[in-house]
């Protein structure tokens, strides 16, 4: 393949290098564009701009492919678990049994937050959004570990394990605080997702009976959300990391980016849609008819995906576990009935099928969390827990790249040209 691209500006042609990824995608290297031509590119939203090279995650939206470190997401979902997948994302290879055991022990060792941090929870009103608490508490946690700023490479493993483990502890504690319930501490004999359910729903002296299918569904949901290439929050983590900010500060910034309704709030939007349909006394049939009418203003949430133009490979995986959880729990919930009706109609309706509007991962994950009993304002927090390994992996990649520079995008200025200051009395 020709390794040069031509760019014509005002009749003058400039040659630009190209870079080809391991899966064949081609990028035009414009790192020297301004120096060569005096021009810059404009790509609002960065939809056509590669901000980095990365060895972590590969997505082919047209073919419905998602791979972590070269491993297909369906194979990982079937054969692996969240903790093993987290290790894969961060360190690049599937761990040996010894390494996986050591990593799991690290997560157990660091699962307790500093006891003084409990006082911070008291400073938040009961109405505080869990994502606000999560981002603030991750930042606060960094102050208890001054070594975050010293000998980073030597202590990275400890800080990474601490962040993955403590984010679920912080999330569970914030939930208990909002409900006015006593704090439940994690247990060293429980697995990652089991421990989260225990901290969320047990009572003092009365541990919850953890359903293995529910724990598996939660673990699978975390695994499926563990990374997703250069999305808004991951790009934010990398940008903050480029300034050499510490791991906790970078992750906290990722939480804030994820909080946005256009990013991490998609599964919450699904439940809000279901609530609206239920409030109107509809089983979903009338709603889907209205969706087809572009003048109705109705939007179908949880179907289709910006990246996946055909189908979301994660949705195919989580649907099976969703059906199993609903059958196991036998939950009587009109919203879940509406969700199943929407799925049934949309999968058989040519209007939605022809437009590739299939249920995505947000649709099924929202249903699972609703069935488990996780409140809607915690949905994005669950997303953040799952995404933490991907953020850490990207942070590590930035820190280990000798060519890494601080992110500093350019802009096209469209404001006023030079103006003179006028005294206040002379202004119209």
Residues 165 and 131 in one domain: yes
Same domain? For 260 and 143 the reply is yes
Span 180-220, pLDDT tens digits = 899 999 999 999 999 999 999 999 989 999 999 999 999 99
Q: Which residue has the higher pLDDT, 184 or 319?
A: 184
Is residue 294 one of the residues assigned to a domain?
yes
What mean pLDDT value characterizes the chain?
92
pLDDT at 151 over 80: no
Least confident of 93-97, 360-364, 405-409: 360-364
At 18, which CATH number?
2.20.28
Residue 17 lies in a domain: yes
Instruction: Considering the candidates 159, 228, 305, 312, report the single residue annotated as catalytic.
Output: 305
The position carrying tokens 């391991």 is 22
**Number of domains, the chain:** 3
- Residue range 338-353, pLDDT digits in tens: 988 998 998 899 999 8
Query: What does the buried/exposed string (b/e) look like for 257-272 if buried means 16 or more CB atoms within 10 Å of the residue's CB?
Result: bbbeeeebbbbbbbbe
Residue 402 lies in a domain: no
228: annotated active-site residue: no
CATH code for position 80? 1.10.580.10
* Look-up of token digits 């309706």: 349
For 32, other C-beta atoms within 10 Å of its C-beta total 11
In this structure, is residue 65 part of a structural domain? Answer: no
Q: What's the pTM? A: 0.93
Report pLDDT for 102: 97
In terms of domains, do 368 and 387 share one? Answer: no
Looking at the fold, whether 289 and 257 belong to one and the same domain comes out as no
* 86/12 same-domain check: no
Give mean pLDDT, residues 269-273.
Answer: 89
- Is residue 392 scored above 90 in pLDDT? yes
305 is catalytic: yes
- Does position 153 have pLDDT exceeding 80, yes or no? no
Give a yes or no: residue 416 inside a domain: no
What pLDDT score does 316 carry?
Answer: 86
Residue 244 domain flag: yes
Together in a domain, 292 and 279: yes
3-class SS of residue 18: strand
Residue 390 structural domain? 71-264+376-395
* Statement to judge: residues 76 and 209 lie in one domain: yes
Which residues, at least 6 apart from 84, have a Cβ–Cβ distance to it below 8 Å? 94, 95, 100
pLDDT band for position 388 (50/70/90)? very high
Options 219, 227, 312, 362, the catalytic residue = 362
Instruction: Note whether 381 and 287 are same-domain residues.
Output: no
pLDDT, average across residues 269-282: 92
Across 126-154, average pLDDT: 87
Mean pLDDT over 236-254 rounds to 97
Are 272 and 257 in a shared domain?
no
């Amino acid at each position: 393949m020709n390794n040069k691209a031509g760019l014509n500006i005002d009749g003058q042609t400039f040659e630009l290098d190209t870079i080809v990824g391991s899966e064949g995608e081609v990028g035009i290297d414009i790192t020297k564009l301004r120096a060569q031509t005096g021009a810059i590119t404009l790509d609002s939203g960065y939809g056509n701009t590669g901000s980095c090279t990365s060895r972590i995650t590969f997505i082919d939206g047209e073919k419905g492919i998602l791979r972590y470190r070269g491993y297909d997401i369906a194979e990982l979902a079937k054969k692996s678990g969240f903790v093993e997948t987290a290790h894969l994302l961060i360190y690049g290879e599937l761990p040996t049994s010894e390494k996986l055991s050591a990593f799991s022990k690290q997560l157990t060792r660091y699962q307790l937050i500093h006891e003084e941090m409990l006082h911070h929870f008291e400073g938040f009103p009961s109405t505080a959004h869990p994502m606000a608490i999560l981002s603030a508490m991750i930042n606060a946690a960094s102050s208890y570990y001054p070594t975050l700023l010293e000998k980073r490479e030597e202590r990275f493993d400890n800080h990474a394990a601490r962040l993955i483990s403590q984010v679920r502890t912080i999330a569970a504690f914030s939930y208990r605080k909002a409900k006015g319930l006593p704090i439940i501490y994690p247990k060293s004999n429980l697995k990652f997702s089991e421990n989260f359910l225990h901290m969320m729903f047990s009572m003092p002296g009365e541990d919850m009976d953890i359903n293995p299918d529910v724990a598996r569904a939660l673990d699978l949901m975390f695994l499926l959300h563990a990374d997703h290439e250069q999305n808004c929050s991951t790009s934010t983590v990398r940008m903050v990391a480029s300034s050499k900010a510490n791991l906790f500060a970078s992750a906290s910034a990722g939480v804030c980016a994820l909080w946005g309704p256009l990013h991490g709030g998609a599964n919450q939007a699904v439940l809000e849609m279901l609530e609206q349909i239920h409030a109107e006394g509809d089983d979903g049939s009338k709603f889907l008819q209205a969706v087809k009418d572009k003048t109705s203003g109705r939007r179908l949430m949880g179907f289709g995906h910006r990246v996946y133009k055909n189908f979301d490979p994660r949705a195919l995986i989580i649907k099976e576990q969703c059906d199993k959880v609903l059958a196991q729990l036998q939950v009587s919930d009109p919203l879940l009935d509406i969700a199943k009706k929407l799925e049934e109609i949309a999968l058989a309706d040519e209007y939605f099928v022809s437009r590739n509007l299939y249920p995505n991962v947000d649709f099924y994950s929202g249903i699972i969390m609703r069935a488990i009993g996780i409140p809607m304002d915690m949905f994005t927090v669950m997303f953040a827990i799952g995404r933490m390994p991907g953020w850490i992996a990207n942070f590590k990649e930035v820190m280990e790249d000798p060519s890494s520079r601080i992110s500093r995008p350019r802009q096209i200025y469209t404001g006023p040209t030079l103006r003179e200051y006028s005294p206040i009395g002379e202004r119209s």
